[in-house]
Amino acid sequence: MESTNWLVYVACGAIVLAIAYFGWRARQKKIAMYRAWAAQYGFHYEPSDNSVVGLSSEEPFNVGHSRKGIDVFRGMYKGSHIVFFQYTYTTGSGKESQTHHNQVVAIGLPTARPLLDISQENFLTKRFAKDIDFENQTFNDTFRIKSPNRRFAYDVIHARTMEWMLADQRARSYQWRFEGPWLMTFRPGLLKLEEVFFYADFLLDIYAQVPRHVWSNN
């Protein structure tokens, strides 16, 4: 009986080691592929770079624990600094732990600016969450705007920008945020390189709506 138990333990250990090995091998192949992709498109790539976990102070950042920046790409895109990566964090512990993945794409701003978070209104946020209202009620019913600096929010989201946001399906579908030196968008899920430039173009279109005086320190 003891001999049988010992064989079971050995078999289980071998299976665990095999899974770990094949997982490591798959990861090394992905890293090699990402390095080649980065070299082809002129980006700097790091398989792990936890400096990006402080990119924002709002969800999905600054929640949970074991926060990690995985497969971090940096470089230039259409004249703007860009960073994109997979942001991972964990909630709970032990058997109750759960790992969350998010794809993040961000472009650099001329100067650091206050937090301005744009998301979509829903039944719960309309009833229970406070945000900044604008003169366009259709806009207020569609978007949830959060910022500790109302002047910055009103400077960025002027009448023309509101019309653009209401007409652009991307703006009506994705959450995006100004914070510090970055304009970013993010979604749940793993990093997909085939999506990155689509989101980057969206951010550049947002940036194009912002009046130049917003970047002045005066």
> 54 and 28 in one domain?
no
* 8 A C-beta contact, residue 169 and residue 106: no
pTM for this one? 0.86
> 161 and 211 in one domain?
yes
pLDDT in tens, 92-132: 888 888 999 999 999 999 999 999 999 998 766 665 567 89
Q: In the listed set 9, 26, 41, which residue is the last one of a domain according to the structure?
A: 41
Q: How many structural domains is the chain composed of? A: 2
**What range does the domain containing 49 cover?**
42-216
> 87 and 31 in one domain?
no
> 60 and 35 in one domain?
no
> 54 and 30 in one domain?
no
> 142 and 90 in one domain?
yes
> 75 and 37 in one domain?
no
> 54 and 160 in one domain?
yes
Report the mean per-residue pLDDT for the chain. 89
Alpha-carbon distances of 203 from 14, 107, 112, 217, rounded to whole Å: 48, 7, 16, 22
- Give 205's contacts (C-beta < 8 A, 6+ positions apart): 168, 170
> 103 and 58 in one domain?
yes
pLDDT in tens, 14-65: 666 656 555 656 778 999 999 999 999 999 999 999 999 999 999 999 999 9
pLDDT in tens, 134-173: 989 999 999 999 999 999 999 999 999 999 999 999 999 9
> 51 and 32 in one domain?
no
> 153 and 71 in one domain?
yes
Strands 80-91 and 143-146: unpaired
> 140 and 46 in one domain?
yes
